[in-house]
Amino acid sequence: MAPTLDPQLRRALAERVRYCHEMGIYDFYWRESAVSESIEAGQPSPSAISESLFVASQPELREEMAARKSAVAPAVVEDNIFELATPKPEHGVADPVAALQLIREDLGDCTRCKLHKQGRKQIVFGVGNPRAELMFVGEGPGADEDAQGEPFVGRAGQLLNNMIKAMGLRREDVYIANIVKCRPPGNRQPERDECETCSPFLMRQIATVKPKAMVALGATAAKNLLAISAPMSELRGRWYDFKPAGSDPSWAGARLAVTYHPAFLLRDPRQKGETWKDLQMVMKYLGIVPPKKAAE
Ligand code: SF4
């Protein structure tokens, strides 16, 4: 049985990474350790929901968002500490709709990273309730999202919609965004420099929406949000405290859970039950009672 990484140790490591980044040190090497944590005790049974709720119309073709087994452990969110330390146009703007608009205007016709010249049709900013209690964060736009300018509108988006519906929510109740806002060519994973350049804008969106809970969809989103490079088996089944530095002191921050990316579920539907466990954990925290159909 794999050992468990103590949460205090994990926080201490994150602090260490933050310090190293401050010193200009970015490359760290993960020593392989099989870490596994299970779903919190007392969570509802994962088998309650019909998997048909998650069925999408077509099989997904893109690559799995699997975590790299041995990888650099960058801390993008840690960089954002310094990004958010500088006053931004939306600071002091109470209306989240106006604040998000200011962030979008600040982003402009962004050319900050190389993704702007690699075939994107448009920037995919984010969509949903600016006051959402729940926020989903994925990796980056695909072809459909690039064409429509909205995150999660393709086949993976249909599945995400089904997941949201199974929770008893509507798509317009939540806020949805990605780590990077431009489509990586060939739907490749966004590279580290692209994530580091783009994610400060996501942090500002999060700090504006102030969700109570967040769900990182897939290992890439989790890695970039949490500065943890680990397999999904280690990342799932627990909560992480998440609050972008520089955000409203009166906001307690979000609790962040990690689950599989819908695109991965299209490739491996067997993981839908595990995903439902993760969503149940989120629902319990938010006090959401699933629709009767889902609970049967
Ligand atoms: S991915 Fe983000 S940082 Fe890169 S060009 Fe697009 S909006 Fe700008």
Judge whether residue 34 has pLDDT over 50. no
pLDDT score, position 217 = 98
- Residue 123's closest CA among 132, 134, 136, 106? 106
Tell me what the mean pLDDT of segment 237-264 comes to: 96
**CA–CA gap between residue 5 and residue 54 (Å, rounded):** 32
Task: Write down the mean pLDDT value for the chain.
Answer: 81
Tell me what the mean pLDDT of segment 143-168 comes to: 97
Judge whether residue 251 has pLDDT over 60. yes
**CA–CA gap between residue 272 and residue 192 (Å, rounded):** 28
| Sheet (strand 127-128) strand order | 127-128, 175-178, 134-138, 213-217, 254-259, 240-242
Judge whether residue 292 has pLDDT over 60. yes
Residue 82 CA, ligand 1 centroid: distance in Å: 18
Judge whether residue 127 has pLDDT over 50. yes
Judge whether residue 102 has pLDDT over 60. yes
Which of the four pLDDT bands, split at 50, 70 and 90, describes residue 80?
very low
- Residue whose pair of structure tokens reads 């629902």 in the numeric block: 283
Residue nearest to ligand 1 atom 8, measured at CA: 110
**CA–CA gap between residue 36 and residue 161 (Å, rounded):** 29
Residue 182 CA, ligand 1 centroid: distance in Å: 6
pLDDT tens track for 35-61: 333 334 444 444 444 344 454 433 333
Which of the four pLDDT bands, split at 50, 70 and 90, describes residue 291?
confident
Residue 110 CA, ligand 1 centroid: distance in Å: 6
| First-last CA distance in the chain | 33
**By mean pLDDT, which of 49-63, 178-192, 223-237, 254-268 is the weakest?**
49-63
**CA–CA gap between residue 80 and residue 271 (Å, rounded):** 32
Give the global pTM: 0.76
Which of the four pLDDT bands, split at 50, 70 and 90, describes residue 10?
low
| Residue 124 φ/ψ, nearest 5 degrees | -105, 100
pLDDT score, position 14 = 64
Q: For a pocket test of ligand 1, which of 198, 199, 201, 224 has the largest count of ligand atoms closer than 8 A to its C-beta? A: 198
Judge whether residue 158 has pLDDT over 70. yes
Of residues 97 and 73, which shows the higher confidence score?
97
How distant, in Å, are the alpha carbons of 82, 95, 126 from that of 100? 20, 9, 9
pLDDT score, position 54 = 55
Residue nearest to ligand 1 atom 2, measured at CA: 198
What atom of ligand 1 comes closest to residue 140's alpha carbon? 1
Q: Dihedral (C-alpha) 18, 92, 99, 113: value to the nearest 10 degrees?
A: -30
DSSP-derived 3-state class of residue 139 = coil
Pocket of ligand 1 (CB under 6 A): 107, 110-113, 115-116, 123, 180-182, 194, 197-198
**By mean pLDDT, which of 200-204, 227-231, 264-268 is the weakest?**
227-231
